[in-house]
Amino acid sequence: MMQMIRRAAPMRWKKTMCAGLALTWMLAACGGSGGGSGLAITPGVPLATAGHAGVVAVSHPLAAQVGRDVLAAGGNAVDAAAAIQFALNVVEPQSSGIGGGAFIMVWSAKDKKSYVIDSRERAPAAATPGMFGTLSFEDASTSGISVGVPGTLAGWNTALGKWGTRSLSASLQPAIALADNGFPVGKLLAGDIVNTSDRGFQMTNLQPETAALFRPGGTPLKEGQTLKQPDLAKTLRLIAAQGIDVFYKGEIATAIVQAQSRAATTGAAGAALTTGKAGLMTLADLAAYATAQREPVTGSYRGYGIATMPPPSGGGITVLQQLKMLERFPLGDKSQGFGFGDKNALHVLIEGMRLSFADRNYWEGDADFVKVPVAGLLDAKYLAQRGGLVKLDAALAPSAIVPGNPVAFQPLAAVADPKEGNHTTHFVVADKDGNIVTATTTVESLFGSGIMVPGYGFMLNNELTDFDWPPALNAATGNPGANDVAPFKRPRSSMSPTLLFKGGVPFAALGSAGGSKIINAVVQITSNMIDHGMSVQQALDAPRISARNNDKVFCETGPFTPTGFTPTPAFSASVMQQLDAMRQPAIGVPPCSGNEANGANLAAQALVIDLATGLKYGAADKRREGTVLTVD
């Protein structure tokens, strides 16, 4: 049985101590610079599904089975991950697919190194900072102007070429079979077909091809009905036979350009959404698309190493900033009011989120185009200064939530937090040799732009709405316009696939869906394990809070639709009242002023590895149809 390590002695206020981690894969010795943490082992706590030869944790059971089958047949973690991605295009088309983008982190056991493949979408050559004009978000995000040059296919092709053992063609075969033979529509997809929570209308009813597939004869597909996708199967066969050139330079490329030329919605529900703009993508843009191999951003938390996503994701830096701001507080020590869900613990989480998002929205963007001060943003002195703003007895006023200057430590003008799509997916894989993949992949909003490529059966993203618009560049204030639109630039993301290390060896992989809430989810799952002594599954099951650089705080309560899952242990109403009393004088907005009804938007997946035995434990998020499968 797996065992849990609990803290037997409380951490004292403001001392540098090593926190007790929740699993036997952590040695009882302290990994940081402080003294021992008083760890005691409580045996016999079954935590999660485990296997020696491999584990997958995926948001959909059929895609999880595909990944497990690849591992069982001798494929490695990258082989399994690529097959999972293509299967998700079939069974979760509302969340990811070849019409979108992905961030892929790979731990190579052979190289003893982590790598990042950036296959984020890019803006076309004709893109300009003012290209959205005065369009509303709804009109822009449902027309061709929002479609970025897709990167997912190129990303997995690159990963397979560098670290895989199977061909792209072999990796596509399970997805082809699923598209050909069909599968029973699950609760999540059935709910998303008629979902109106994002924008007040249904994304599957805006374009005729999308409606024909998901609403045959005008009737939305229901749970249990069989969905076959012959056009998508044809597309995947073309790619399997001809490689990615058919997508980026051949007939599929031509179809993509034609599809994104739509300026308005044309389906039955499109009457209210007619003021769009045609996309700017050309065949040359598709032919010029290239992935980028990047170095992870790295840091530590209470002695444990972290590798996470660099720019153009704004996720990794912000995750590391939040954790470092939290490190000065004794999270996990209930005697000092820092137990899970206690007032002090929730308060410092919220304040750290607010400050880090102020930095993110000002400084972070595509580092190929703007100078992102990564070293300054992660500098220990800078973060001590930022974290020192957090007071235990009061919430910061909105006027104090401004970006710092990581060079001169001077506050700057606040930047608004743009809307970011929640509908993404994350999965993790580990194989018998110790290779690990943690990947977040998306088409941005629910069903992306709502535009399906006619005759080819896949959704196009609306990722370009992740840029700042109107543009933020301002010479007078010094605003660098880090996330303004530019030709070939990748929009800022929050996706944060992450690895955790002990002594240079990875013991956990995690990530989440949820738009900008991804960052806060990764921070809380990490803290739940390291600070609060939770198992990996308990860390996922716990409720989360989420704040940005504005006044609203989202609190998870449940039950969520469509799964009915309620996170546990629930936040206390009395604690929320105490937080409200702190917030009212400074902000006037209570905690939990935001509500997240659809928990599937926020689903995370994770795995941990017992470094002593090699056992691999997966944890799947019950907010979605998460599934863990293992290979013994």
Give the annotated binding-site residues for L-glutamate: 120, 466, 493-494, 515
- Specify whether the CB–CB gap between 464 and 147 falls below 8 A: yes
Establish whether the linkage from the previous residue to 559 is cis, with ω within 30° of 0. yes
CA distances from 609 to 24, 53, 54 (A): 9, 11, 10
| Residue with tokens 């993301």, as numbered in its chain | 493
SS3 call for 40: strand
308 is an active site residue: no
The answer to whether 241 touches 235, Cβ cutoff 8 Å, is no
Angle 509-511-517 (CA atoms, 0-180°, nearest 5)?
155
- 132: tokens are 């959205």
Alpha helices in 531-618 (DSSP H): 536-541, 573-586
Quote the tokens at residue 25. Answer: 């894969």
Instruction: Report CA dihedral (66, 71, 73, 76) to the nearest 10 degrees.
Output: 120
Question: What single-letter DSSP state applies at residue 145?
Answer: G
Q: Which two tokens stand for residue 82?
A: 């690529």
Structure tokens given for 199: 């924008």
Q: Residues annotated as binding site?
A: 120, 466, 493-494, 515
CA distance 256 to 245: 13
What is the DSSP track for 193-210? Answer: HT--TTTSS-GGGSSHHH
Selected catalytic residue, list 49, 424, 441, 627 = 424
What are the start-end ranges of the E strands in 449-489? Answer: none
Residue type, 467: F
Contacts of 548 (CB under 8 A, 6+ apart): 353, 354, 357, 417, 516
Instruction: Report the first-to-last Cα separation within the chain, whole angstroms.
Output: 15
Q: Which residue has the tokens 């296997």?
A: 51
Task: Pull the structure tokens for residue 59.
Answer: 């948001």
Cβ atoms 267, 206 nearer than 8 A: yes
Amino acid letter, residue 78: V
Q: Give the C-alpha separation, 582 to 591, whole Å.
A: 10
Nearest Cα to 364, choosing from 231, 483, 491, 524? 483
Dihedral sign from CA coordinates of 17, 22, 28, 29: negative
Closest-CA residue to 14 (of 558, 536, 384):
384
Q: How far apart are CA 530 and CA 457, in angstroms?
A: 43
* Catalytic residue IDs: 424
